[in-house]
Amino acid sequence: MSTVFLYPGQGAQFPGMVKDICDAHPEAMRLVKEAEEISGEALSEWLWNSDASLLSRSDRSQLAITVASLAIAKVLEIKGTKADAVAGFSLGEYPALYTSGVLSFADTIRVVKERGRIMQEACEAIQNESSSSELDNASPGMAAVIGLETDEIIAILKEYSGEKGIVFPVNMNSPKQTVVAGTAEGLAVCEKLCKEKGARRFIRLQVAGPFHSPLMHKAAKDFGNFLETISFQNPKTLFFSNVTGDIIKSGEEAKRRAVEHITYPVLWTSVEKKIHAFFEESKSKAVLLEVGPGKVLSGLWRDSGYAEAITSIPCGTLEQIQSII
């Protein structure tokens, strides 16, 4: 039986995450404290004592979710459950990079801290550049569109997602859900147009900005400059990329994809298809473990059409971990 670790992305955070796990497992607590020393940040305070609004900032949530996910992975490893393959949704690619041996633990923490800082600055700059007076109280960000197919949304937003666009389809989550990213004005336009076309729901997400869209181009450039100082090794375990929906073969490719990741869509349905096809073709059984806070990825897998062949199990709480080890 092969085990695939799925790591969730930004938006999965909540105050108090992995507290029960760290209280029960000293190894997990030690990992949090080590990450605090490397980052110079009070991560335990962020994880357990921040309010939701502060925790949603990119310069907090990205590091907090990464450390929470790796704390869970540490407990699973100690209990004898190791990853044979990894995939990460958006930010989740960073704990996946560590698990697959592409990045060291220290570099993972440093890279995620810098990524969060750069992306938060970019989000604030986009907010400050907003010229829509009637939307002064709104923010750039992301929203999930429920009830329309991705191709329909792409067609609806064609006029607004060109070179100087304000809203873009960015996360291909499932046949039932596509996430869009844009300015405050862009999201308002998108909500109106999608509901007119029959969308059942338009759900604003708890993220700080329009991630995975061309609006983040400066962040991608700055992050690329930073990554020039970081060493990426070849993956030691199977690594499914949500930039391409395919398998990453080298450290050089992993670094390139890490930069593209900031402005490219998340092709999660393609990752799911590739995971299913890989294990079907190899005629081997597999189980997916959602290693991080929440259970969003297990829900998306349930909607993928592959759940009968491969099970996805959330592992974000002590009780959930205890049920599988």
Residues 119 and 13 grouped into a single domain:
yes
Question: How high does pLDDT run on average in the chain?
Answer: 93
CA distance 217 to 229: 20
Same domain, 76 and 196: no
Boundary (domain end) residue, out of 156, 190, 209: 209
Q: 57-83 pLDDT, tens per residue?
A: 889 999 999 999 999 999 999 999 999
How many structural domains does the chain have? 2
CATH classification of the domain holding 164: 3.30.70.250
Identify the H or E element spanning 240.
Answer: strand 238-240
Question: Do 112 and 26 belong together in one domain?
Answer: yes
Q: What are phi and psi of 106, to 5 degrees?
A: -60, -45
**The token pair that represents 49 in the structure block:** 């004592």
What is the CATH classification number for the domain harbouring 67?
A: 3.40.366.10
- Tens digit of pLDDT for each residue in 230-279? 999 999 999 999 999 999 999 999 999 999 999 999 999 999 999 999 99
Whether residue 263 sits in one domain with residue 249: yes
Any idea of the CA torsion for 264, 270, 271, 272, to the nearest 10 degrees? 140
d(Cα 320, Cα 298) in Å, to the nearest integer? Answer: 13
Q: Are residues 25 and 112 in the same domain?
A: yes
Question: Are residues 258 and 242 both part of a single domain?
Answer: yes
Residues 270, 258: Cα–Cα separation, whole Å: 17
Instruction: Tell me what pLDDT residue 277 has.
Output: 95
Domain match, 178 and 306 both: no
Same domain (yes/no): 187, 232: no
Kindly give the parts of the chain with pLDDT less than 70. Answer: 130-138
Q: Which domain holds residue 20?
A: 2-123+215-322
Are the C-beta atoms of 1 and 286 separated by less than 8 Å?
A: yes
Q: Which residues of 179-200 are buried (b: 16+ CB within 10 A; e: fewer)?
A: bbbbbbbbbbbbbebbeeeebe
At residue 133, the pLDDT reads 43
Are both 22 and 171 inside the same structural domain? no
Question: In the listed set 209, 236, 267, which residue is the last one of a domain according to the structure?
Answer: 209
User: What is the number of residues in the chain?
Assistant: 325
- Are 84 and 116 contained in the same domain? yes
Tell me which residues are annotated as active site: 90, 212
Same domain, 136 and 113: no
Please name which of 274, 319, 322, 316 lies closest in space to residue 294, comparing C-alpha atoms: 316
End position of a domain, from candidates 209, 243, 275 = 209
Laid out side by side, the sheet with 201-204 consists of: 167-174, 177-182, 141-146, 201-204
Whether 31 and 96 map to the same domain: the answer is: yes
